Amino acid sequence: MEKLIITAAISGAEVTKEHNPAVPYTVEECVREAKSAYDAGASIIHLHVRHDDGTPTQDRERFRVVIEAIKKVCPDVIILPSTGGAVGMTDDERLQPTELNPEMASLDCGTLNFGGDEVFMNTETTIKNFGQRMIDRNIKPELEVFDKSMIEMAIRLGKKGFIKSPMHFNMVMGVNGGIGGDLRDFSFMRHSLPADATYCVTGVGRYAFTLAMLAIIDGGHVRVGFEDNIYLSRGVLAKSNGEMVEKVVRLAKEFGREIATPAEARQMLGLA
């Protein structure tokens, strides 16, 4: 089986220090969290940035500063900035990190209720614009799919030339408003992907490590981190993103799955 690519979603836009005091806001805190994940075995950092008070921002210069600071201590790590940002941001705001020409970026493939009454808007025009931007700048999209309909949207827009193949998906499962995170949901999503696609799975909240296990044994890849889950196990707050990555590494080793380095992840994802 291919080696396992671990992504750490170190910060997100919604989770706060009230949920877990280790959630990073400042540049230094982002560096600390990225390094803990990288040292534990993450080859990709999915990045959101904040102002120092924790307010989410998509400001290009804030991304530039945080990415440069992370690269100083994790020189070969793959940085995958968010173009989702936070609910309510405009498309232009959200696209700012693509101006830095990262190797990868997230591309959200549909609209959904997001954790209650918030609506995370991604119309077909938005997805086409974001897809075209990533083609123009040679950025590999990680296709964020929160439900099966979003896989179908990605395939449809791929046929129209807005997303290149082979596609790389991130099945984000367990969001309040999206698909759940049970075995049946995983199987349904996974078997709806194009045959030549690669995928990673993100289990939100209590699904974080059960879905990681399924991806490990299925040959997929895994994302964990404070963006998606604040607990290491039931009732026990994670002290760092690194602790969550370490747990995935332990699970992978139990099942004979080796961990990909950033260089190996680049080969597998067609970035190199």
- Interface with ligand KMH by CB under 6 A: which residues? 13-14, 82-84, 86-87, 106, 108, 114, 120, 144
Q: Shortest distance, CB of residue 178 to Zn ion, whole angstroms?
A: 13
Q: Shortest distance, CB of residue 144 to Zn ion, whole angstroms?
A: 7
Per DSSP, 142 falls in state: E
Q: At what angle do helices 124-136 and 148-159 cross, to 10 degrees?
A: 60
Contact residues toward Zn ion (CB under 5 A) are 82
For residue 4, with 0-12 CB atoms within 10 Å meaning exposed, 13-18 middle and 19 or more buried, which class applies?
A: buried
Q: Of the two residues 13 and 215, which places its CB atom closer to ligand KMH in the complex? A: 13
For residue 243, report the phi and psi dihedrals to the nearest 5 degrees: -60, -40
For residue 63, with 0-12 CB atoms within 10 Å meaning exposed, 13-18 middle and 19 or more buried, which class applies?
A: buried
Q: Of the two residues 107 and 252, which places its CB atom closer to ligand KMH in the complex? A: 107
**Residue 86 interaction partner, one of ligand KMH, Zn ion, none, beta carbon < 5-8 Å per kind:** ligand KMH
Q: Of the two residues 114 and 186, which places its CB atom closer to ligand KMH in the complex? A: 114
Q: At what angle do helices 241-254 and 27-40 cross, to 10 degrees?
A: 10
Q: Shortest distance, CB of residue 258 to ligand KMH, whole angstroms?
A: 27
Q: Shortest distance, CB of residue 185 to ligand KMH, whole angstroms?
A: 19
Tokens of 77: 């790590």
**Residue 87 interaction partner, one of ligand KMH, Zn ion, none, beta carbon < 5-8 Å per kind:** ligand KMH
**Residue 120 interaction partner, one of ligand KMH, Zn ion, none, beta carbon < 5-8 Å per kind:** ligand KMH
Amino acid of residue 269: L
Q: Which residue is nearest to ligand KMH (CB)?
A: 84
Neighbours of 11 (CB within 10 A): 28
Instruction: Please provide the DSSP assignment of 50-65 as one string.
Output: E-TTS-EE--HHHHHH
Q: Shortest distance, CB of residue 184 to Zn ion, whole angstroms?
A: 25
**What's the rounded Cα separation, in Å, for the pair 132 and 130?**
6
Q: Of the two residues 257 and 269, which places its CB atom closer to Zn ion in the complex? A: 269
Q: Shortest distance, CB of residue 82 to Zn ion, whole angstroms?
A: 4
Determine contact, residues 103/139, Cβ cutoff 8 Å. yes
Q: Of the two residues 98 and 259, which places its CB atom closer to ligand KMH in the complex? A: 98
